Amino acid sequence: MTASDDVYALPEALVAAQRWDSALQAITPALAADPTDPRLLGLLVRTLRGLGERERAIDAARQLLTAAPSDPYALRLAMLVLLDVGWVDEAIGLAGRAVSLDPQNAANHLALSRAWAQSPRPGAVERQLAAAREAVLLDPNSPDAQVQIGVALAASAEIEAARAAYHEALRLDPGNSAALNNLGVLDLQAGTPAAATRNLAAALAAHPQGAVARRNLDAVALRVLRRAGWWLVVTPIPALVAAAADRVGLARALGAVALLGLPLVVLSWWRALTPGQRHLLRSLHRRVQVGAWLWPALTALAGGVALAVVMLAPGLVSQPAVAGYIAMVIYLMLIRTVAAVLRPSWRSEAAARGTRWRRRRSR
């Protein structure tokens, strides 16, 4: 090993291990000796991104581009920094420049695909897909390119094709956390939180520090809580109808079924978690906004009160009260439907649920 190699060995090892604080300490004195070294500047950009220091990462990316303006790798790193701060059009420009400098490098086309994935411009999804497919042509064994193809197809509501792309990525790299995470997202959109949890748990096992998979696991937990809330608000209706008809025994039996069935809504999902993930979700309330709890709390309160009246005082239930309760449930459903349609991912969610229903009918 030469003396110049010694300068890079420790910083590169620390960056590869994602020990960002130690990497920064190793890179700083080396850069002080040679502030224009592109290799060290590239390591600095990666380190600052890992630390979440976006402004410093932008400055380091500018230094890197000044030192190596025609290096596709430098352009790709700078592109990632720009995506971090939401400068999507500028990132697309850098990735396109990398492609023009070295069109035979699959990594450049993959970078362009990632940049287009963040763009709201018309035709962005088609360009993302085209760039990812070009990357696959140049490197058929690239799991990252397959993941990008899957992301583009999912954005186009082509759910089965997206799943096939993610499974191809897993065939090439069985521990690919991005593919596992994205399969979990498709499962979540399809309304199968237990399957989503299994894929997200596998993604976290492959990459324990993966922030995206952790956030998606939180989203699954909130989805399960909303489902439990819906169970509580909808299942009292038969019991209320029976109580209004003076069928007290039947009303209490139906209320008991509603209460006993609630754990089944949560249990299959909870079993898919590891002890560590269960511990993580116990602190869910610290990581999500207060507003996220409003819907589960509202539905649980309404359903809980209805079940309490059925079980403890069924004689208080009248037909007008039942009609009012059903009207309230319909109103809540309309609100949730409007909120779902306003989400950017509603087309993918609708397609995922449609695919799930078609699978069930074909069995």
Supply the pLDDT for residue 238: 92
Fill in the amino acid letter for 173. Answer: D
Residues 6+ apart with CB under 8 A from 188: 196, 216, 219, 220, 223
Measured over the CA atoms of residue 16, residue 21, residue 24 and residue 26, the dihedral's sign is negative
Residue 310, H or E segment: helix 294-312
Residue labelled with tokens 């287009």: 116
**Contact at 8 Å (CB) between 89 and 97?**
no
Distance CA 97, CA 68 (A): 13
Supply the pLDDT for residue 1: 44
pTM: 0.72
Other CB atoms within 10 A of residue 178 CB: 23
Give the chain's radius of gyration (CA, Å). Answer: 26
**Contact at 8 Å (CB) between 258 and 231?**
yes
Q: What is the widest separation between alpha-carbon atoms in the chain?
A: 91
Distance CA 61, CA 41 (A): 8
**Contact at 8 Å (CB) between 309 and 315?**
no
Supply the pLDDT for residue 206: 81
Distance CA 105, CA 72 (A): 9
**Contact at 8 Å (CB) between 170 and 179?**
yes
Reduced to 3 states (helix: H, G, I; strand: E, B; else coil), residue 320 is helix
Fill in the amino acid letter for 36. Answer: T
Supply the pLDDT for residue 354: 62
Supply the pLDDT for residue 259: 81
Tens digit of pLDDT at every position of the chain (363 positions):
444 557 889 999 999 988 999 999 999 999 999 999 999 999 999 999 999 999 999 999 999 999 999 999 999 999 999 999 999 999 999 999 999 999 999 999 999 999 999 998 999 999 999 999 999 999 999 999 999 999 999 988 888 999 999 999 999 999 899 999 999 888 888 878 778 888 888 888 887 777 787 787 787 777 777 777 888 888 889 999 999 999 989 999 998 888 887 777 677 667 766 676 677 677 777 777 777 778 778 888 888 889 899 888 888 889 999 999 999 889 888 887 777 666 665 566 566 556 656 655 555
Measured over the CA atoms of residue 18, residue 181, residue 339 and residue 301, the dihedral's sign is negative
**Contact at 8 Å (CB) between 175 and 167?**
no
User: Domain map of the chain by residue range?
Assistant: 219-362
Supply the pLDDT for residue 274: 67
Supply the pLDDT for residue 293: 78
Give the side-chain half-sphere CA count within 13 A for 302: 24
Supply the pLDDT for residue 362: 56
**Contact at 8 Å (CB) between 129 and 153?**
yes
Q: Give the C-alpha distances (Å, rounded to integers) separating 39 from 24, 74, 286.
A: 14, 9, 40
